[in-house]
Amino acid sequence: MIYAFDFDGVIADSAKGSAFFSHRAWKRLGNKNAPPVKSIEKHRPYISTAKDNYGLLFLLSNNMKVTRAAVRKVAEENPEKAKIMSDTFFDEKEKFIKTDKEKFCRLYGPFRFIVPIMQRLSRKETVYIVTSNKKSQVIDILCRSKIAVKPENILDSTISKNKSDLIKIVARREKVSTFDIMFVEDSIDHIKEVIPTGVNAALASWGFVLKEDIKEAKKLGIKVLDKKNLITTLNAENTEYFDVIDKSNKVIGKAPRDECHRKGLLHRSVHIMILNRKVNSSCRNEAKRRTCIQAGGHHQQADMLPAAIVMARAHTGN
């Protein structure tokens, strides 16, 4: 099993850092009524991108109700201001790193419970970090926590801003199927984005996650990880066994996941195929074809229809 982790909200407890630099950026742009840093930190789960910081601080500054939809709406209705806020946010980070890298690493330090887990996992298994953060910043934070992820295994937004693309890059590098990758992410939107690749995705509930995210993940059949089940789940995924079947779909034995793929042993898997007379958005990555694999995954039951329905709903949102 290959492991891929998001950084913010999965490894790094970046709420303090995000709030700190959002507050500085907001004041730098001439807003005198900046909300307290603690309030911004508390509302970190409501933002998904740096541009969302504008929506969040606007709502907080005007004592308006904060929801994820409201944050996005304000940012989308004020694209220029949201971009300026985003650019200023990153500029504040860069300036601060040059003057006090040690404090920066503390502001974006890892969750305490995750450090020993990542230390052990990175020594024994192949671990990747897929992130929108700068690679150099991630390396500094990991080194200070003695988490030994290889620098070349840290894939940032300079390679691709699309998590699906990064997962496919991991699969190509390691010469494995995407089914053999476990991806841990705290954004339900990013998880839905990567599901079509067939990656074994899980939601990190200790991150910047709302109750509605957990509810949606469970509805879609996505694993929900917490501090209690993380270790057991990682261990279980590393020794996952599939039913080996014959050509008539009869179970004739069991074998580890990697052995099934390495030896080409028949096992059950479900794929959703979208057929189109015209090339449209559902097949945008298959430019000149009328079919494309939209979602896939392993399932043990002989009746694959329920599993197929879960996969289809996860991708389409219906």
Final residue belonging to a domain, choices 106, 125, 155: 106
Does residue 272 share a domain with residue 124? no
225, part of any domain:
yes
Q: Are 50 and 34 contacting, i.e. CB atoms less than 8 angstroms apart?
A: no
CATH of the domain at 195: 3.40.50.1000
pLDDT tens-digit profile of 104-136? 999 999 999 999 999 999 998 999 999 988 999
Alpha-carbon gap, residue 305 to 308, rounded angstroms: 5
Residues 6 and 130 in one domain: yes
Distance separating alpha carbons of residues 196 and 317, to the nearest angstrom: 12
pLDDT of residue 168: 95
pLDDT at residue 65 above 60? Answer: yes
Asked whether residue 246 is assigned to any structural domain, the reply reads no
- pLDDT (average), residues 166-188: 93
178 and 203 co-located in one domain: yes
How many domains are contained in the chain?
3
Residue at 247 is within a domain: no
- Asked if 224 and 214 count as a contact pair (C-beta separation under 8 A), the reply is yes
Residues 125 and 212 in one domain: yes
pLDDT of residue 8: 94
- DSSP code at position 1: -
Instruction: Identify the domain containing residue 183 by its residue range.
Output: 2-12+107-238
Q: Give the distance from CA 76 to its chain's centroid.
A: 22
DSSP class per residue in 87-109: HHHHHHHHHHHHH-HHHHHHHTP
| 94/120 same-domain check | no
**pLDDT at residue 308 greater than cutoff 80:** no
Q: How confident is the model at residue 43 (pLDDT cuts 50, 70, 90)?
A: very high
H helices of 108-162, in order, are 114-124, 135-144
pLDDT for 179 beyond 90? no
Same domain flag for 179 and 292: no
- Paired sense of beta strands 241-245 and 223-225, if any: unpaired
Kindly state whether residues 25 and 140 are assigned to the same domain.
no
Report if residue 245 sits inside a domain.
no
215 plus 161 within the same structural domain = yes
State yes or no: pLDDT of 207 exceeds 60.
yes
- 127 and 91 assigned to the same domain: no
Question: Has residue 243 been placed in a domain?
Answer: no
Do 227 and 277 lie in one domain? The reply is no
Asked if residue 249 is part of any domain, the answer here is: no
Which of the listed residues 58, 80, 106 is the one where a domain comes to its end? 106
Alpha-carbon dihedral of residues 195, 197, 201, 203, nearest 10 degrees? Answer: -40
- 79 belongs to a structural domain: yes
- Among 106, 138, 164, identify where a domain stops: 106
* Residue 190 forms part of a structural domain: yes
- Are residues 142 and 265 located together in one domain of the fold? no
Q: Which residue has the tokens 């030896």?
A: 263
Cα distances from 254 to residues 43, 241, 245, in angstroms, run 46, 6, 9
pLDDT of 229 above 70: yes
**In a shared domain, residues 121 and 149:** yes
